[in-house]
Amino acid sequence: MGTGGAPWRGTVLGLALLTGALTAGATGCGGSGTQSGTTGAPEVTRTAPGTRSSPPATPPEDLCARLVAHWSRKVLSGDTYGDYQSMGLSNRQYEILLDVVDAARAEKRREGAQAAGELIDRTARERCEERYRNGNPTERPWS
């Protein structure tokens, strides 16, 4: 162990950077936010050039349908081991996936792979819309 001495330099540097960032934010540096002067001028909102607002959030039924359809194709082709948590699915979404895959297997035997893919898309959409028809499920966090 050495006598030290260097750790305080990191602390001082960190505090200096924090102070600079706070000062820059307080003076309106960065090009966004609101600014009003003491001259009674109206409040002006500025936005940095080239910035965009965030895209709207994906509705839960759309996210569910996309995830279930994606993983249904993987399960149908044998390209996954079937752990619903690693797929990013809830327990209930996984139940939908299992039903969709069962129906797709039967459709694939009868009508071929293209028909099975169409059935996956259609059934995943229908089941997920039904699942989220009244908003997000609230009975259990894992459903």
* pLDDT tens figures, 8-67: 444 444 545 444 544 444 445 444 444 444 555 555 555 567 777 788 888 999 999 999
CA dist 22 and 115 (Å) reads 59
- Residue 106: is its pLDDT beyond 80? yes
CA dist 112 and 106 (Å) reads 9
Q: What backbone torsions phi and psi does residue 130 show, to the nearest 5 degrees?
A: -60, -40
For residue 34, list its beta bridge partners: 45
CA dist 116 and 124 (Å) reads 12
Q: Are 124 and 69 in contact (CB under 8 A)?
A: yes
- pLDDT (0 to 100) of residue 31: 45
User: Residue 51, CB half-sphere, CA atoms under 13 Å: how many?
Assistant: 10
Q: According to DSSP H, which parts of 1-143 are helical?
A: 7-26, 60-76, 91-111, 113-131
Q: Are 94 and 38 in contact (CB under 8 A)?
A: no
Q: What is the mean pLDDT of residues 100-121?
A: 97
Q: Letter for the amino acid at 23?
A: T
CA dist 133 and 50 (Å) reads 37
pLDDT tens column, 131-142: 988 876 665 544
- Residue 108: is its pLDDT beyond 50? yes
pLDDT tens column, 82-104: 688 899 999 999 999 999 999 99
Beta-strand pair 44-46/33-35: antiparallel
- pLDDT (0 to 100) of residue 13: 47
